[in-house]
Structure 1
């Protein structure tokens, strides 16, 4: 199984790992678009004011221009530890034991805007770039990433894919049609069984679900396996339209 997570806008600074090694990242076939996006971000960072405008950075976040300027040379940390925010706080990967972290490394990828999907334990630097940002010198990020990521995923033959990404990041790398997958929508049920989608708690639920999968060492190779695991572990997951499930919280 491959679990696809969205990134977070907020990230831990610094790091102790070696600088970014594109050849060591998940889906090494994406090296060319990775190089293209990194080059464009580094070039943009030469003009701090323009970079701050493009990246929509206020005064307190302008230091992130320097993060982009140093993408190739700054220290790295595992991606799952780099990101902060609601989803990654709920996942809380730093408190998982070695076996669960190893599970994350084998089964989880985080879909970043500058690097595409990276493995949970792949070392990445701090950066600033969102899925919807238009970077000078680049076509829309969807045009940079979508076909290349779909092809790379198809070649990687990941088996069953559990897609927990936001729609913006799913658009940057659609799961190939021939790969069995489900897209997860987080919902809650009110009185009378009325169902509504969640926003803030959507991220928390996805992080908690990923943590539970890792902590249990889940062996999931199909939707049926996922439903069996969910029933055993106390999660409510219901099939919906073709290719989608609801996570009820």
Structure 2
């Protein structure tokens, strides 16, 4: 089983003392050459404030992000699941997970990054700034990542749950047989409407419930049965989707 999460724009500073990025140690090693190329392109565009600001869509108060990118190779690293912050990761609340749940997350959760492609939750990465809609000169991110990330996800032997935003899913669509988690609310008449504001929080809490339970589901039927016992409204939706019903 693999849960694929989106990254976040905001990230924690710092990391393990004396550590630095080691591309060879990251999961999904087939992506290493593409990661190396993306790092080089980001390094080049970050040489000037004007170039980086334009490519990354940064304002004057975000210039610290450029310095982060300049120090990518030497800045300290921490597990990806701890690096990202924001609403989804608040819902996941990794700091309060038990040691067993954190180990389960490291084995069964991945994060899809615009810079590193898909990485394992326990992979050690630095703080950086690169988004799905960033414009690296000569390197359209969708073209760069799409087929390679899709191939890595397709190679996973087991249930794949896609919790990414549609923008990140476009950088590497999940394979046939995967299940996209769509957060919806249901009216009294039974009509379901996709949520936007509470979407990320619900996905984070859902991911937390799965890793805290520590059950490796072999298929969607197993997941649906578990969700019912856990008090989570998860039901089949459109083809290839599962509806997470909240509210």
Which TM-score bucket, shorter chain as reference? over 0.9
Q: 1:236 aligned to 233, 237, 241, which one? A: 233
For residues 6-21 of structure 1, the aligned pairs below 5 Å read: 6-16=6-16, 18-21=19-22
- Residues 50-104 of structure 1 show CA distances to partners (whole Å, capped at 9, x for unaligned) of 1012211112111100111111111011111111110000100011010000010
- In the alignment, the residues of structure 2 paired with residue 243 and residue 185 of structure 1 have an alpha-carbon distance, to the nearest angstrom, of 10
Match status 1:164 vs 2:152 = no
Cα distance in 2 for residues equivalent to 1:191 and 1:62: 48
Matched, 1:246 2:243: yes
Distance in structure 2 (CA, Å) of the matches to 1:111 and 1:162: 13
The CA deviation string for residues 167-204 of structure 1, in whole angstroms up to 9 with x for no partner, is: 11111112233xx3100110011232232111121000
Q: CA deviation at 1:159?
A: 1.0
**SS of 2:198 mapped into structure 1:** helix
Question: Which secondary structure does the structure 2 equivalent of 1:184 belong to?
Answer: strand
How far does residue 150 in structure 1 lie from its aligned partner after superposition? 1.7
Query: Does structure 2 conserve the Cα–Cα contact (< 8 Å) formed by 1:4 and 1:161?
Result: yes
Matches within 5 A, 1:133-212: 133-138=134-139, 140-155=140-155, 157-177=156-176, 180-212=177-209
Q: TM-score, normalised to structure 2's length?
A: 0.96
- Per the alignment, residue 40 of structure 1 pairs with 41
SS in 1 for 2:150: helix
Corresponding residue for 2:28?
A: 27
* Contact 1:14 1:75 (8 Å CA) reproduced: yes
Deviation (angstroms), 1:154:
3.1
Is the Cα–Cα contact under 8 Å of residues 141 and 172 in structure 1 kept in the other structure? yes
- CA separation of 1:26 and 1:158: change in aligned 2, threshold 3 A: farther
DSSP-derived class of the 1:219 partner: coil
**Corresponding residue pairs, total:** 245
Which residue number in structure 1 is paired with residue 71 of structure 2? 70
Tell me if 1:91 matches 2:88: no
Q: So what's the TM-score if we normalise by structure 1?
A: 0.95
Q: In structure 2, do the counterparts of structure 1 residues 51 and 229 end up closer, same or farther at CA, with 3 Å as the change threshold? A: same
**Residue 7 of structure 1: how far off its partner (Å):** 0.6
Quote the RMSD (CA, aligned, Å).
Answer: 1.1
1:126 corresponds in structure 2 to 127
1:79 matched residue in structure 2: 80
Is the contact between residue 4 and residue 108 of structure 1 (CA under 8 Å) also seen in structure 2? yes
Q: Secondary structure at the match of 1:245?
A: strand
* Aligned position for 2:54: 53
Distance 1:99 1:176 in 2: 29
- Please say if residues 2 and 158 of structure 1, whose CA atoms lie closer than 8 Å, have aligned partners that are also in contact: no
